[in-house]
Amino acid sequence: MTLYFSALRILLGVPTLTDRAPRLPVWTPFLIAGLLIAADQALKAWALSNLVQGQPAVAFIPGVIDWVLTFNTGAAWSLFSGSALPLALGRLTVGLGILAYITFRPQTRFVTVILSLISAGAIGNAIDGIRLGKVTDMIHSPALSAVTRALNAGDFPIFNIADSCVVGGTLLLLIATFVADRRPKL
The active-site residue, picked from 19, 137, 155, 181, is 137
* 137 has catalytic annotation: yes
Higher pLDDT residue, 183 or 17? Answer: 183
Say how far apart CA 159 and CA 139 lie, in whole Å: 5
The domain segmentation of the chain, as residue ranges, is 24-182
The active-site residue, picked from 40, 66, 163, 181, is 163
- Using N-to-C axis directions, what is the helix angle for 28-50 and 109-132, rounded to 10°? 40
Amino acid at the residue 63: G
pLDDT of the residue at 185: 61
Task: Using a cut of 0.95, tell me whether the model's pTM lies above it.
Answer: no
Torsion angle of alpha carbons 15, 17, 20, 26, nearest 10°? 160
Evaluate if residue 21 carries a pLDDT over 90.
Answer: no
pLDDT in tens, 85-142: 889 999 999 999 999 999 999 999 999 999 999 999 999 999 999 999 999 999 999 9
pLDDT in tens, 51-76: 999 999 999 999 999 999 999 887 66
Mean pLDDT of the chain: 87
Higher pLDDT residue, 48 or 180? Answer: 48
* 181 has catalytic annotation: no
Q: Please tell me the least confidently modeled range out of 20-29, 40-49, 139-148, 154-163.
A: 20-29
